[in-house]
Amino acid sequence: MIVHHNKLKPLVILLLGALSIPAFAGAPSPTPTPEGTPPPCPTGRWHRTLDVMDVTSATPEPIDQASAQALPIDDPWAAPGSCTTGPDGTCTVTAFYYQAQWVDLSVSRDGYHPWLARFPVLPQEDSIRVEMIPTEIPAESPTPSPTPTRTQPPVATGTWVRDVTVFDASTPGYNWVSGANVHMDINGWVGAYGDCMTGSDSMCRLFIIYYSLNYVDITVTKEGYEPHVERQPASPSFDSIEIRLHRIATPTPCCDTTGVRLIAPQNPILPGDAFYLDLEITNARPDVLENHRIFVILDVGGILFFAPSWTPGHSGIDSYSMSIPRGVYTRRIIEPVSWPDLGGGGEAWFLAAITDPGITRVVGEISVRDVLW
């Protein structure tokens, strides 16, 4: 069947759009300072447990008698908070605010460089690790890498915040995932940071207070799901990101033939029909197929697109990487989407295959599926 190229572009946009992630707006603008009498009660509480450490020794040591102060900024009615660390290097500071968006936290101690960083007011409760550097470091004290030594400036210079929302990618739509652990591996010089866990609304906030920052690797884990890893740049300083986790499929009773099978609605696809694409993955071998590659390729008029990013072939190739135990598994490739009226008939092809980790040979049977409209 002849493919009309003027009808291919809407199809490609449709299929790629099914995997796109909506963008969130940036950080909210602070509320203008009200005039007149303040409200009878504060509108928020900023409560933090501090862990103040001397990081110049091989094993960080708690700092006793360090003074900490929390000051909500741009809020004339705010009530600052303060605390002093005990022998274990910890104390709890609480500040109350009416309209503040940020809180400046300062920590000081005789014999140490002062420490200052800015934090968002949310979440209301959290813990912060404060790493302080003595003004004079004994020559015999080893300095662990990559902790900076006496060249450290007295205050942190930057703030990095990400609002994270985690969804279940194994089901249609956007289903929330609560209790997901979001961890950061930070490439930079950091004064303080906070990992997070998603709540009942599937959201949580990451923050970093830094001297210099190159990038951040984010790892999201949740029991029953495949781990998700992605790299975030140092800029912008505030952003919102969506992460979609894939469930670890429960294998069905096995199976005689290793390979893949594409699953899509019956042809032809009519305007308004729900179109989706699943991939059935089978390992009939006794051993796990470690770190194998799974290719799903869309051929539209001779132009190839590689899942999961649907990268055009002339720009490189993409694939899934996973270890496949013995069994049969199903993975959602394209979420259900309403098929548009393309103004006439056409045809596209999907091709799927498993290869070894080095992409030198195909493992098992391949699958080809045509789509007619």
The pLDDT score that the predictor gives to residue 135 is 78
Whether residue 205 contacts residue 163, with contact meaning beta carbons closer than 8 Å, is answered with yes
- State residue 204's pLDDT score: 92
Question: In this prediction, what percent of the chain has a pLDDT beyond 70?
Answer: 80
Residue 153 pLDDT level (bands cut at 50, 70, 90): very low
E strand segments, 284-359: 289-300, 303-306, 311-312, 320-324, 327-338, 347-355
CB atoms within 10 A of CB 280: 17
Instruction: Taking residues 54-71, report their average pLDDT.
Output: 85
What are the beta bridge partners of residue 159?
209
| DSSP structure class, residue 124 | S
> In this predicted model, which residue has the larger pLDDT, 23 or 131?
131
367 vs 189, 275, 354, CA distance in Å?
49, 18, 10
Q: Which of 8-12, 18-22, 362-366 bottoms out in mean pLDDT, i.e. has the lowest? A: 18-22
Half-sphere exposure of 362 (CA within 13 A, CB side): 11
Q: Which helix (H) or strand (E) holds 368?
A: strand 362-372
In the chain, DSSP finds a helix count (H) and a strand count (E) of 1, 24
pLDDT of residue 156: 58
Residue 343 has pLDDT above 90, yes or no: no
Q: What contacts 373, CB < 8 A, 6 or more positions away?
A: 268, 269, 270, 339, 342, 345, 346, 347
Among the ranges given (6-15, 149-158, 335-344), the one the predictor scored with the smallest mean pLDDT:
6-15
Nearest residue to 121 (alpha-carbon basis) of 28, 235, 210:
28
Answer yes or no: is pLDDT of 140 > 50. Answer: no
Whether 287 shows a pLDDT value over 70: the answer reads: yes
Give mean pLDDT, residues 163-181. Answer: 82
Q: Are 53 and 131 in contact (CB under 8 A)?
A: yes
pTM for the model stands at 0.39
List, for residues 293-320, the tens digit of each pLDDT value.
999 999 988 889 999 888 887 777 889 9
Got the DSSP string for 5-53? GGGHHHHHHHHHHTT--PPPP-PPPPPPPP-SSPPSS-SEEEEEEEEEE
Choice between 171 and 25, residue whose per-residue pLDDT is larger: 171
Write out pLDDT tens, residues 64-75: 999 999 988 888
Q: CA-to-CA distance for 20 and 312, rounded, in angstroms? A: 15
137 pLDDT band, cuts 50/70/90, is: low
Domains and CATH numbers, the chain: 44-245 (2.60.40.1120), 250-372 (2.60.40.10)
Q: Minimum mean pLDDT among 2-16, 47-61, 130-144, 335-349: which range? A: 2-16
272: DSSP letter: T
Q: Report the C-alpha gap between 5 and 25 in whole angstroms.
A: 35
From 149, 30, 167, 165, select the one nearest 101 (Cα to Cα): 30
SS3 content of the chain, % helix, strand, coil (to 5): 5, 50, 45
